[in-house]
Amino acid sequence: MSSRDVTSRVRQQVWNGSIPLEIHLHKTDCRTYDKSEPYLIQFPRLSYLGLLLHKLHAFFSESLIYPDASPAEAWLEYENVPLKWHYPLGLLYDLYSGAEPAQPSEPLSGPSLQEGDDEVLPWKLTLHFSEYPVDQLVKLDTEGKHLHDLFIHNVKEADYLRNGTGKTVMFLSKEDSTQLWNSVEQHDFNLFNPINQKLLNPQGVNLRHMPVKLYLPHAASSGLDTVNESGQESTPGSLRVVQSLITPALSSRQPQTIGTALNQIIPSLFPSRRSSLLAHAVLHGAVLPLSANVEELIRATAYLDGWLHIAIIMM
């Protein structure tokens, strides 16, 4: 199989990754206390829970104590951690579900349940319509404009990193930009792929930097030598998001790997470039091999906004 075939096969597998969700209405918002039926959905890992706002509101409106509550008042939580609407579901799951990520040594034989998933799946989330944690979660609007804004900002930034200019995104036609957002809303690969290919392969531009964000749960970041000087009480699920300029290659012969990048950005957690000693880098439910080439990962496994959103999980 050519590398191009591998890329497109992996791309397809990542696109199809999904997680079953079981969403319960919190008892304080429910007319019948804890008797409302849960909302069940198989939801794409790459997609945003914010896109479910109206469906959730419609489904639970009969059960709400205050039926007039706007869909914008809704927020989701897992074990007291408010879930950011604009993070892709897969990232939230990898960060908070507690499921064991798949190891690279395991055979790649189609979709298979990982050990530990049985206890976690379906992922049980709680929906609230009151006491929005406005200091922790960006509040969405009912028209989905804010979610779109945050998405486009990420797309622009990823583009700027890759090309050193934001021109590719700026030069997308109005139709293309609309199609990109529609492809996200509908999770439609045939709409998404042509625009994504334009963004990934601009003419006459070399790849400059790679859009990678690392998400360190509080447990991981407090182990770092940098002290949290704010002395703030950390809220449940608080994260440190780390972003740094990552070039595609260290030299003409040495491409950037996950190991070299992590060793450069957070050496205290990744003291070795070749083996994980303290923490794992997790993407789409799998532990990334440290030898993985970052540029290939960007092409095959980036999230919809063009970024690799990598969860750092302590071993």
Contacts with other proteins by CB under 8 A lie at 84, 134-139, 141, 146, 149-150, 153, 156-157, 160-161, 166, 209, 221, 224, 226, 228-232, 238-245
Of the pair 230, 254, the CB lying nearest other proteins is at 230
Token look-up 């939801």 returns 43
Of the pair 80, 252, the CB lying nearest other proteins is at 80
How many Å apart are CA 76 and CA 215, to the nearest integer? 19
Of the pair 139, 274, the CB lying nearest other proteins is at 139
Min dist CB 224 to other proteins, Å, is 8
CB neighbours of 105 closer than 8 A, spacing ≥ 6? none
Asked if the peptide bond before residue 122 counts as cis, ω within 30 degrees of 0, the response is yes
Residue 296 zone, left/alpha/beta (φ > 0; ψ -120 to 50; rest) = alpha
Of the pair 103, 268, the CB lying nearest other proteins is at 268
In this structure, which amino acid lies at residue 20? P
Of the pair 118, 229, the CB lying nearest other proteins is at 229
Min dist CB 126 to other proteins, Å, is 20
Please check whether residue 47 is in contact with residue 117, taking contact to mean a CB–CB distance below 8 angstroms: no
Q: Based on the number of CB atoms within 10 Å of its own CB, is 162 exposed (0-12), middle (13-18) or buried (19 or more)?
A: buried
Min dist CB 132 to other proteins, Å, is 9
Of the pair 187, 240, the CB lying nearest other proteins is at 240
Please check whether residue 72 is in contact with residue 139, taking contact to mean a CB–CB distance below 8 angstroms: yes
Min dist CB 45 to other proteins, Å, is 21
User: How many other C-beta atoms are found inside a 10 Å radius of the C-beta of residue 49?
Assistant: 23
The candidate with the shortest Cα–Cα distance to 31, out of 57, 65, 60, is 65
Min dist CB 238 to other proteins, Å, is 7
Q: Which 3 state secondary structure label does DSSP give 58?
A: helix
Min dist CB 249 to other proteins, Å, is 19
